[in-house]
Amino acid sequence: MSETTLHCNERLAITVEPREMRMSHWLYAPRVVDQQSGRVLLDLSDSQWDLIATADESASSIDLLLRKYPGDRPAVTLHISLEDWQLSIAGRPVEASTLASALG
């Protein structure tokens, strides 16, 4: 059953559909949608990326802390800016179409 939370003054909807990867280990791959335009900013729902937490949330941006299953590498922080629809990792802009390869 999917779970949706609202962020950035209810402008962003982050939806995860929990799936069990192995016994008692759940993965929460996110899909992020701008509620005003309906634009999908990020869709990792069919990936091995797990949304660990959100951080540094404001009305115009949010950070997503992501870890790739099985978790044997360090987590990655993905910054989403609503002012210019920019995604970035460690201050470097990333195109949504190349996000999977940029995440590693």
Domain that holds residue 37: 3-103
Burial of 45 (0-12, 13-18, 19+ CB in 10 A): middle
What order of strands is seen across the sheet that includes strand 49-55? 49-55, 61-68, 76-81, 86-89, 92-94
Q: How far apart are CA 15 and CA 28, in angstroms?
A: 9
Domain count, the chain: 1
Is the bond into 30 cis (omega within 30 degrees of 0)? Answer: no
At residue 23 the predicted structure's pLDDT band, cuts being 50, 70 and 90, is: confident
62-86 pLDDT, tens per residue?
999 999 998 888 999 999 999 998 9
Percent of the chain with pLDDT over 70: 100
pTM, entire model: 0.91
